[in-house]
Amino acid sequence: MAVKMDKAAIREMIARRAEQEIESGFYVNLGIGMPTMVANYIQPEKEVVLQSENGLLGIGRSPYEEEVDPDLINAGKETVTAAPGAAYCDSAESFAMIRGEHIDLAILGGMEVAENGDLANWMIPGKMIKGMGGAMDIVHGSKKVVIIMDHVNKHGDPKILKTCKLPLTGKSVVDRIITDRAVMDVTEAGLVLVEIVEGWSVDEIKASTEAELIISEELMKIHK
């Protein structure tokens, strides 16, 4: 069994691994929650433009205390900084970028992902929500969709399933899943385990994943 890490360390590990999905020249949308942390780990040599659906093109890192501007926020209502050359637009123009397939990569959170790439991440029946947000547009308009999340829920039940139980955000939209235990790719052949976090075994990953896993012949380790 892997050595237990605290929640903050796990989130940082996932965010740092997700940063590796970003290539120089990419336009990237970061979903609310843990995905916003990825902005803090983008390598300085990468020329990347972060897009927020609420109208900021060119998000920077999280602000230091003295830099906080309550009027400068991301889609999750968290304060952010604007990178040099950033531009502001209204929501309609922001969604035109998304629906026009100008976003190279979306990194989003997930409640459930199915082995065929179905995603559920916008609501839990019976719980109050403010609205569906922009996730349904983002998963269909982005060229690549990466989901980052815990491998199991707070009850220890798998979140990577044969079929999603929660209302879907999109069907067959996920390309890659990054969790606190592993990295998996959605392929035509099935869900492929391509990386495993140091300290976890293949058998443990299988036991905590409802979906069938194909083990890559080039399985790699993620070092903490």
As a whole number of angstroms, the distance between CA 81 and CA 183 comes to 30
Write out the H or E segment, with its range, that includes residue 148.
strand 145-148
204 among known catalytic residues: no
Token pair of 42 as six digits = 């983008």
SS3 at position 17: helix
Tell me, rounded to whole angstroms, the distance of Cα 131 from its chain centroid: 19
| Nearest to 185, CA basis, from 222, 150, 155, 160 | 160
Q: How many residues does the chain have?
A: 224
Long-range contacts of 187-192 (CB under 8 A, 24+ apart): 187/214, 189/214, 190/115, 190/214, 191/115, 191/160, 192/216
CB 150 within 8 A of CB 220: no
The one catalytic residue in 53, 112, 115, 195 is: 53
DSSP 76-107: TS-B--EEEEEEE--HHHHHHHHHTT--SEEE
Instruction: Please identify every residue annotated as catalytic.
Output: 53
